[in-house]
Amino acid sequence: MHDNLSYQGERRDMLRSLVKPMNVLDVGCNNGAVARAIRRRFPDAYVWGMEINPDALKKALPDLEMGWCIDLDRTEAISTALNGLSFDHIIAGDVLEHTVHFQRITAILYEHLLPGGRMIISVPNYGHWHTLWVFLTRKWQRNERGIFDKTHRTVIMYRNLPEFIAECPGARLKMAKRNFRFFETNRFWKVNMAITYLLFPLLIIPYVRDFVTMGYVFTIEKP
């Protein structure tokens, strides 16, 4: 549990997948930046939040209908908190990789998704070429953010994504966005993005595309 700024943004890359939200659950809501962004764009929307960090949740509470301080791997606590509640959108931005029981967690959240509703999830991609570099250095990185965040408990690559709906009957998984970045760092941002844009013509090639994808944003839809 830490407060890196990378986890405190409003996640425009995820909010673009919202469709007329009315009742939204933000899983891993941190300081409430996503909730505030949703309420600015959709004044009639109501947002609930879950967060493991009590100090961050305290900051988010003014923008939430209700908030729960929960360790998601205590899956029974999720079920208890959400008893009687349903949502048209559930957002989990860069949070499920911090859990062990991500499939069960996703399944419980799916149970509280209304028919026609949508889960919007983002996860880091361990299939980024930087992982190969880490193996060559023979030293696993334990960073404060990014693919090698020291608090990650689950490794995810492109072909692992269907595992998220293994316990979600009838669910449809769709890719919403790939977040491309050549270097796995926030330093030298302009150089990093310039190289990434130069590679764009090659991104039609699946393997090349995945090697420079920092993270995936995907949706799970309930019929």
Q: What is the CATH number of the domain that holds 59?
A: 3.40.50.150
What does the pLDDT read at residue 8?
60
What is d(CA 120, CA 16) in angstroms, rounded to the nearest whole number? Answer: 10
Asked if residue 109 is part of any domain, the answer here is: yes
Domain range for 96 is 5-179+215-221
- Is 188 among the domain residues? no
Q: Is residue 5 over pLDDT 60?
A: no
Taking alpha carbons only, the member of 171, 167, 31, 183 closest to residue 93 is 31
| Mean pLDDT computed over 148-169 | 97
Residue 198 within a domain: no
Instruction: Check pLDDT > 70 for residue 6.
Output: no
How many domains, in total, are found in the chain? 1
- Please report the pLDDT score of residue 2 as a whole number: 52
Contacts of 93 (CB under 8 A, 6+ apart): 11, 14, 26, 28, 34, 120, 121, 122
Domain contains 144: yes
Instruction: Name the band, by pLDDT with cuts 50, 70 and 90, for residue 205.
Output: confident
